[in-house]
Structure 1
Amino acid sequence: MHKHLLSRIALVLAIALGVSCQQQAPRQKDKGTVTTDTAAKASLKPGESGYAEVNGLKMYYEVYGQGKPLVLIHGSFMTIPLNWSHIIPLLAPHRKVIVAEMQAHGRTRDTDRPMSYEGMADDVSGLLQHLKIDSADILGYSMGGGVAFQFAIRHPGQLRRLIILSGTYAHNGWWPDVEASFGAMNADMLKGTPIEQQYDSLGNDPARFPDFIKKVMSIDLQPYDWTAAVKQIKAPLFMVIGDADGVRYEHAIELFKAKGGGKMGDLHGMPQSRLAILPGTTHIGMMLHNNWLIPMIEDFLDSDLSTKPPMF
């Protein structure tokens, strides 16, 4: 991919993040209706926050609300404020929302440990043990989707339901030009963006920013393919991509079929797992469609997921 196209992606990312950080925090008045409430954002504070000692890391985390636990796993270069500030107020009134910053991200300082999806999945498992939570719903976005897939593979006993937003379970799940772009991504393309500003503001060494970008990108520069293991996941799964995402449609559909999709529900019953392709939605834009995402996420998490055909 040409460098000017990558720079354009970085610019779009910066704009999208700026918009998401400035959004008024939405709240849900009626099921399926999302409105905004500035006071909700201003007053929302974590009921618990701190650091969990897991696998050689001091992982920063926050907990909001009460109810069934839901863990949100952010995307590459993200932090809790960048990825979830406009999402937490929507979900916290109905469930216990647990957010954490992965290795090297935000307030979770890096170590000499190589970065991997498997390692970050183990960190999430350790965080749940730290919080004395037996099992939880797991939602991962982009890089966090890969972490969530690995969590489901490696720690199935801690998983209730799985939600993947714009994530892949194999390196060729990305469109070829997207995958080819990973090796060219560098810190200069993100200079002056909210990503760099947040990195600096949370006490990280500004001189290490290029190393941070390089290390995070390293996990996608080696081929990976978890197809066989992912198809064996027992927990109900909800996979969401955009129609202009970086994820191939066939990649999502293949998994949905393996999880019981690809049949007429009126005749054969509904699969426990679900698939959504959002219209007019890019990879970055996925996190800007709260009015669509939140009702679908809550319906999936709260549904009894009956597989019986409907009665006529």
Structure 2
Amino acid sequence: MKKFIIAVLLFAACQPAPKPAAPAAAAAPDSTTLSPTDKGFAAVNGLNMYYEVYGDGKPIVLLHGAYMTIPLNWSRVIPEMARKRKVIVAEMQSHGRTKDIDRPITYEGMADDVSGLLKHLKIDSADVMGYSMGGGIAYQLAIRHPEQVRRLIVLSGTYTNDGWWPDVEKSFASITPDMFRGTAIEKQYDSLGNDPAHFDDYVKKIISMDLKPYNWTKEVKNIQAPIFLAIGDADGVRYEHALDLYKAKGGGKMGDMYGLPKSRVAIIPGTTHIGMMEHIDWIMPMVDDFLDSDLSTKPPTF
């Protein structure tokens, strides 16, 4: 039964999120109809990393979740953000059009790849938003390359392996390639030029990263960039995990007395781990406000 549930969740994660109804004149294009201003491959750390760039303005990097690609993870987010920002999206090692190489997949290695991509694009620093696995990459980017990170947004990501609820963490060992048969993940893996004969190796290699203990608590709490944490109230991430970091970043005090901390936290109602991307229309206004605000820590005056 547990494997069946995991399979259903993984399948659901691959499906396009439903778009809210809107008048035709006000409807925004998705990234399948919006043309990138730049795209290609960046040679970084022995990897040919695929990337796309949309829009203009202050740069923001979007980091996808495990087994995802640019269109699977960000098709609804790119056009919204590209209205006023330069949006940089990339596919991590072995994902999508970025082919695998002979090295382990690690959060640290993928963070170094993103750092190399920013240098390739001649971008000194950027805002960074990561979902799930991408949240872990975002944390490591801010730890290893702090000068390149302006503000950090982590959606349903953890900085320790026990940041997940215990049953969720335990379930990772049960994930098998068979759970992905016929899903959009397998179909996109094949359609973007990967060898179908290596699909099983791809699944196993990625999940192997989360079968090893990791704990970046000290390093993450020392990140100087402001952090916006968002998890679902029915997410796989423990509430205490997110709140512990928020308190370490200045939260847990009455803002009317002490001022607002530079970092923020949100628990999105009625939202699962997968549902974070289905409720992106709820989250984007909060992300925009965080990125655009002056993050003053001064208490209000009356």
- Common fold: TM-score over 0.5: yes
Pair 1:64-2:54 in alignment: yes
Q: How far apart are 1:9 and its partner, in Å?
A: 2.8
SS at match of 2:111: helix
Q: Where in structure 2 are there 5+ consecutive unaligned residues?
A: none
CA contact (8 A) 1:118 1:150 kept: yes
1:6 Cα offset (Å): 2.8
**Would you say the 8 A contact 2:135–2:156 is kept in 1?**
yes
Q: Which residue of structure 1 aligns with residue 36 of structure 2?
A: 46
- Show the counterpart of 2:178: 188
Question: How far apart in 2 are the matches of 1:120 and 1:177?
Answer: 27
The answer as to 2:11 corresponding to 1:14 is: yes
Distance change (3 Å), C-alpha of 1:220 and 1:25 = farther
Conservation of the 8 A alpha-carbon contact between 2:10 and 2:179: no
- Aligned pair partner of 1:179 in 169, 176, 183: 169
After superposing on structure 2, the runs of 4+ consecutive aligned residues of structure 1 that deviate more than 3 Å are 22-27, 39-43
Q: Percent identity?
A: 65
Structure 1 residue 207: Cα displacement: 1.2
Q: How does 1:281-292 map to 2 (within 5 A)?
A: 281-292=271-282
Distance 1:208 1:26 in 2: 41
Asked if 1:274 corresponds to 2:264, the answer is yes
**Distance in 2, Cα, partners of 1:12 & 1:271:** 35
Q: Give unmatched runs, 5+ long, in structure 1.
A: 30-34
The corresponding residue for 1:230 is 220
Residue of structure 1 in register with 2:193 after alignment? 203
AA aligned to 2:53 is: V
Cα deviation, residue 42, structure 1: 5.6
Deviations 1:76-108 (A, max 9, x none): 000001000111111101100000000000000
Residues 143-158 of structure 1 mapped to structure 2, 5 A cutoff: 143-158=133-148
Q: CA deviation at 1:41?
A: 5.2
Q: Is the 8 A contact 1:26 1:90 kept in 2?
A: no
Q: Given the alignment of the two structures, is residue 36 of structure 1 paired with residue 36 of structure 2, yes or no?
A: no
CA drift of 1:23 comes to 4.2
Match of 2:227, as an amino acid?
L
Are 1:246 and 2:236 counterparts? yes
The one-letter amino acid paired with 1:202 is L
Which residue does 1:86 correspond to in 2? 76
Distance change in 2, residues 1:25/1:106 (3 Å): farther
For residue 88 of structure 1, give the secondary structure of its aligned residue in structure 2.
helix
Conserved? CA contact 2:151–2:225, under 8 Å: yes
Matched residue count: 301
- Please say which of residues 292-301 and 42-51 is displaced more in the overlay: 42-51
Cα distance change on mapping 1:285 and 1:311 into 2, 3 Å:
same
Superposition RMSD in Å = 1.7
TM score, norm. by length of structure 1: 0.93
Separation (CA, whole Å) in 1 of partners of 2:275 and 2:30: 23
Cα contact 1:25–1:85 (8 A) shared by 2: no
